[in-house]
Amino acid sequence: MNINDLKFDRHNANLGTDRGRAALAASLKQYGAGRSILVDKKGRVIAGNKTLEQALAAGYQDVLVVKTDGKKLVVVQRTDLDLTDPKARALAVADNRVGELNLEWDPKVLADLHCEINLDAFFTTRERTEIFSALFPEEIPEKAPVEFVHVCPKCGHKFSGKRSVNKAAKALAEKVPVRRLRRRKA
């Protein structure tokens, strides 16, 4: 199969980051492919959109497809690496770090998914509230009193350490129906 036969998920909840893309590109160039891409039966990417993006940019052409129904774990074995090799150790670090750097949730896509599927195993209500708060920016009065409880020892910046709770985002995170939220907002 040719890499161009794969199709990106246009509703991917991960926007990715410039820094993550650069780290992934560097990892592919220096260490080669180390992680597989998961596609559905029609070749649409379920997981690995950013890997596909960077592999295309790096000039990868052919892909090895392993067909499975998900009942067995698919293991990618690199025949050119030994775990005692520094290159293998560096690839392990690169793989984990890229996953960390290349994650930026798209609040709109995640909110839509949240209405369709249960995300409780992956996000706490607090985490969802933080992500969804971008959908409902709150206006904070300019002259609102702020109680400073922390001072940065390096620059002297004062901050409260408390975040104002965005009620609409919190309601969405707690699964209040979206239609109800939209009515409230209007």
For the residues 160-178, what does the mean pLDDT come to?
60
> pTM score, two decimals?
0.74
Q: Is the pLDDT of residue 58 over 60?
A: yes
Which neighbouring-strand residues pair with 39?
45
Q: Express each pLDDT in 93-104 by its tens digit.
A: 999 999 999 999
Handedness of CA 166, 171, 175, 176 (dihedral sign): negative
Q: Is the pLDDT of residue 130 over 50?
A: yes
Confidence of residue 179 (pLDDT cuts 50, 70, 90): very low
How do the domains of the chain map onto residue ranges?
Answer: 3-101, 107-185
Q: CA-CA distances (angstroms) from residue 179 to 52, 133, 168, 172, 182?
A: 35, 17, 12, 10, 5
- Tell me the three state secondary structure of residue 181: helix
Task: Map tokens 């607090």 to a residue.
Answer: 126
Give, for 38, the enclosing helix (H) or strand (E).
Answer: strand 38-39
So what's the pLDDT on residue 88? 96
- In three-state form (DSSP H/G/I as H, E/B as E, the rest C), the secondary structure along 84-129 is CCHHHHHHHHHHHHHHHHCCCECHHHHHHHHHHCCCCCCCCHHHHH
Q: Is the pLDDT of residue 177 over 90?
A: no
Lowest mean pLDDT, pick from 38-52, 103-117, 120-134, 149-163: 149-163
